[in-house]
Amino acid sequence: MSESRRDGPATGGSTPADSGATPPGFTRSEMMIVAAARELAGQRVCFVGVGLPNIAVNLARLTVAPELELVYESGAFGAKPARLPLSIGDPTIVTGATAAVSMFELFSFYLQGGLVDVGFLGAAQIDRFGNINSTVIGDYEHPKTRLPGSGGACEIAINARQVFVIMRQSRRSFVDRIDFRTSPGNLGGAEAAARTRREEGWLGSGPSVVVTDLGIYHFDETGEMRLDSIHPGATLEQVRDTIGWQPKVADPLPATLAPTSEELRLIREELDPEGAYTK
């Protein structure tokens, strides 16, 4: 992640708004997507998950990261989709791409081979150390909610050089204890995680950013999430109400720069005219 980008909001942003209302002009989902896209500045190869990562990464390609090479687990490298694909299995991913390869090749040579800089994931549950659940809510054998499962998320978390997460925060999603560990984050803390990664020969250094509808989190030296930027219109109270633990908060806490009119235009007119991601 580029430092200038990371410092951007701190120097250029306004102070957090007191009101919990969404400011006029953009939605919380739009702010989340824009914030996530900006985090990709300076990155080269990004493995794109289904759902919110898909629109964030495509926005980044059109704005802060024109050189970004998009990898879709379905088997495309260097994709330049002419429209936002709803699914990661979509013909627009292939037409005009640099390479269309088998999933064996994609997972073996690109991901496991260490060529992916950022794995960009969504999730149903996350804990303070960035461990992720996308498998079940409740007990595995008799789940309350059966979720889609790993897809490629398990190996992306282990083999991508770093992991970005984008998800809406709530008491059900930001939990003290995830019900199932689908993708490892910083395990029980930074020190143990670093040792495990070294001993088990992981290429990845784990999660580095979580972008939600309320703010942007990075991971501190203990391996725990810390709120480093709060979105315009969001309050600390809202943040605390939607997290199942006492979150660490940067001090001072800058406000995320609001979406620019160009970022909003790209989302609304080019990427998601039907509002599938931004409702």
CB of 232 to other proteins, least distance (A): 28
Nearest-angstrom CA–CA distance, 133 and 122: 10
Residues near 222 by beta carbon (within 8 Å), at least 6 away in sequence: 189, 190
Q: Which is nearer to other proteins, 101 or 249 (CB)?
A: 101
For residue 201, what are its two tokens?
């020969």
Q: Which is nearer to other proteins, 77 or 164 (CB)?
A: 77
Query: Counting Cβ atoms within 10 Å, is residue 269 exposed (0-12), middle (13-18) or buried (19+)?
Result: exposed
Q: Which is nearer to other proteins, 157 or 234 (CB)?
A: 157
Neighbours of 72 (CB within 10 A): 26
Q: Which is nearer to other proteins, 123 or 253 (CB)?
A: 123
CB of 254 to other proteins, least distance (A): 33
CB of 74 to other proteins, least distance (A): 5
Q: Which is nearer to other proteins, 50 or 216 (CB)?
A: 50
Q: Which is nearer to other proteins, 109 or 245 (CB)?
A: 109
Q: How far, in whole angstroms, is CA 38 from its chain's centroid? A: 11
155 flagged as catalytic: no
Nearest-angstrom CA–CA distance, 239 and 243: 7
CB of 31 to other proteins, least distance (A): 21
Q: Are 102 and 76 in contact (CB under 8 A)?
A: no
- Of 30, 39, 69, 73, the active-site residue reads 73
CB of 87 to other proteins, least distance (A): 3
Query: Mind telling me the catalytic residues?
Result: 73
